Each structure stands twice: as C-alpha cells, then as structure tokens.
Structure 1
C-alpha cells in the first residue's frame, strides 16, 4: 500500500511536469509584454527622478540580493544546473518588489520623485499580476532550486532578523538601472525587434544602454 502511494505521488509529479513543460518553453505572453513595455517607458525617466532629484552620493539600505545585476543572472545560470528562465523571472519580481518599496519609503510625501516612484510601483504591480495570471498555479507550487530558495528566504526575512553583513547601500538610480537591464535580459523577447542583434544579457549591451535607453518595437 505504501509502495502504491509512493508510485502514485511520483506519477502525479511527472504528469505535473509534463503539463508545465510547455509553459516553461513558451514565449512571454503578449499581455505581459505590453505591461513590461509600459514599465520600460517609465524607466526611461529614471535619471531625472532618481539622480537629479537626490543629493549627490545619496544611497539607501537594501538587501545584498536586491542589488540584482546582469552578472548575478550569469552566475546563477552557471551554478544552478538546468535553471529555468521562469524561475529567474519569479526571482526578478521578488527582488524588485522590495527595491521599489524601499525607494518609496525614503521619499517624503512632497518629494519631487514621489509620484513618479509610486506610478512606477503601480505599473510594476500590474505587470506582476499579469505574470501570475498567465501561468498555471502549479508553477508556483514547484520547489525552487536550493540556491534560489536561499536568496528568496533572505529577501523575505524579517528586517530585524537580518544580520548587518547582509545589508548594503546603493543609490536609487543604480537600483533602477539594474531593474531595467535585468528586465530586458529576462524578458528579452518582448523588446527585441526582428533586426535586433543585441544580446540583452551581455555587459556590453548594458554599457551601451547608459548612453541610449532601449526603444522597444511598437
């Protein structure tokens, strides 16, 4: 009876993977691309609102993991065998949810960047909602790879239980730069045009983006 139960559970797990596999390989849904392009439009103004409206060298306290760069994505792909892009996309939403909350938290009601950041967070939540609704619930019940789960746990730890060594300081502008560059990498099929040869996950593309923001295909 125990063997039958174990076999049944194994079969159920395999069937679940077979059902989820096409979702993992599918292109980004059009509705999510629309929401992310709207986010991209807002992020094109980040220099004005996140640099010019702040004191020189102004920084805020964030989790180490919230400084989420293209290099973090590359390292995770190298160190976690078979890491699905969908898992990184889930992590991207979790990371930047915290980033936006921390930026808003330091802004007084009348700060010139307050309304911009609040609108950005609203558009981010809209994109997250589309992301969640576009996937079967089984996707979110799948166990995360251990390394990803460790990052997730640190991001969701109660602040007063986080050791001082797990915090760092970063400028709002740099956080939104990473927000944008990692979005373009993880959801690149939403932004690449038919004649686009750029690798959105490469450091060279990030450097080019410092001079000219990405203009997605309409």
Structure 2
C-alpha cells in the first residue's frame, strides 16, 4: 500500500508539472508584450521625428552590423540550424542599444527630436530590463554560436579599432525602420493574434504596410 501510495504521489506530481510548465512558459511573452507595445507606440512616430526634423538625405555613421534587417535574421536562421530565438532576441537588444546611442549623439540639446529620441531610449531600456528579468541568469552566461559571437564582438569593439570599410552611412529613419521591423519579427507573439496569421519576418508584409502608409499620406 505504501508503494502504491508513493507511485500515485509521483504520478500526481508529474501531471502537475505538465500543467504548470506551459503556464510558466507563457509568462515570458506576456511580460515582454507590455513594454514592447509601449515602445512600438513611440516607434509609430519615427517618420515625424526622424525624417521631417532632419535635412534631406541626412545620414549618420554606424557599424555595418548595426544595419540589422529582416534579411539578416533570415540569413542567420538559414545558416544556423536550430538557432535559438532567444539568441536572436539578445542580439536585437545589443544592436539597437548602439543604434539609439548614435542617433542621440548627433543631435544638439535643442534639436526638436532629441526629447523623442531620449524617450524612445528610455522605453527601450525598460523593455530590456523586463527581458533580462524574464529569464534565468544562466541564460545570459551561455556561450553564443560563433557567428553571433563574431557580430557581438564587432558591436562592442572600440570605435578607433573599427576599420573604415566597416562603417556605413544610414539615415536615422532607416535605422528605426529596421529597429521596428525586426522587433515585430523576433517578438511576433506580441503583435499578432491566433485569428490573424501574418508573417512579420517577411519583406512582403512590410511592403504592403508601406503602400498603406503612402495612401494615408496622399
């Protein structure tokens, strides 16, 4: 009877874990969605603040690895089988941390877009904080795949050591377009519903959105 009782208890514990585990797994997306959606509200104003308030064809200098597009994500997924989505999300935060710093750095204190950029960075930091808190500390101590580690090393390299061939001139608006599109792609659970299936990592989806924007502006 004691053995039977013990077996029943073990079975019950296993069943409880099966029920609890999906719930725990769902906590991370829901905790991330609020700060990311708040960040998205700021990004929705990027045309006004990052294009209209700058001279025509204005560009800033960034590392080529900071020009982080949907095509970069697709390429890495194709080249590295079984690439953990969490690794790409970590890379997304690292890339855009530098992008925002560079955008703010070129603006004088009285630039009309500086308060917007500062608020955008603050909301980005809030999202990053939730991202870190949503995962065990060991996750961020794990060794990165070699390709990702090489990108990470480039992003954290001292500017004086970066060869001239690695710099790119890109408009602030284009950088924030990449920021927004890759956010939708890597955190798609926060921006789609089960009823609305969209490939947020697909270029075609964003081309459709651009045509809609043009119609609204006309």
TM-score range, shorter chain: 0.7 to 0.9
Structure 1: which 4+ aligned runs deviate by more than 4 Å? none
State the secondary structure of the residue aligned to 1:168. strand
The aligned residue for residue 7 of structure 1 is none
**Alignment TM-score, normalising by the size of structure 2:** 0.84
Q: What SS does structure 1 have at the residue aligned with 2:165?
A: helix
Number of residue-to-residue matches in the alignment:
191
- Pick which of 67-76 and 193-202 moved more: 193-202
RMSD: 1.6
Larger helix percent: 2
30-39 or 119-128, which moves further after superposition? 30-39
User: In the TM superposition, what is the alpha-carbon distance from 1:145 to its structure 2 partner?
Assistant: 0.2
Matched with 1:66 is: 66
- With normalisation by structure 1, the TM-score equals 0.84
How far residue 67 of structure 1 moved from its aligned partner, in angstroms, is: 0.5
Matched, 1:84 2:84: yes
Deviates more, 1:204-213 or 1:188-197: 204-213
Question: C-alpha displacement at 1:205, in angstroms?
Answer: 0.9
- 1:18 is matched with which residue? none
Contact 2:185 / 2:201 at 8 angstroms: preserved in 1?
Answer: yes
CA drift of 1:29 comes to: 2.9
In 2: Cα distance, 1:140 partner to 1:164 partner: 31
Give structure 2 stretches of 5+ with no counterpart.
Answer: 1-20, 214-218
Q: How many angstroms apart in 2 are the aligned matches of 1:208 and 1:34?
A: 26
How many angstroms apart in 2 are the aligned matches of 1:78 and 1:192? 23
**Whole-angstrom distance in 1 between the partners of 2:212 and 2:41:** 13
Rg larger in structure: 2
Q: Which residue of 1 aligns with 2:145?
A: 145
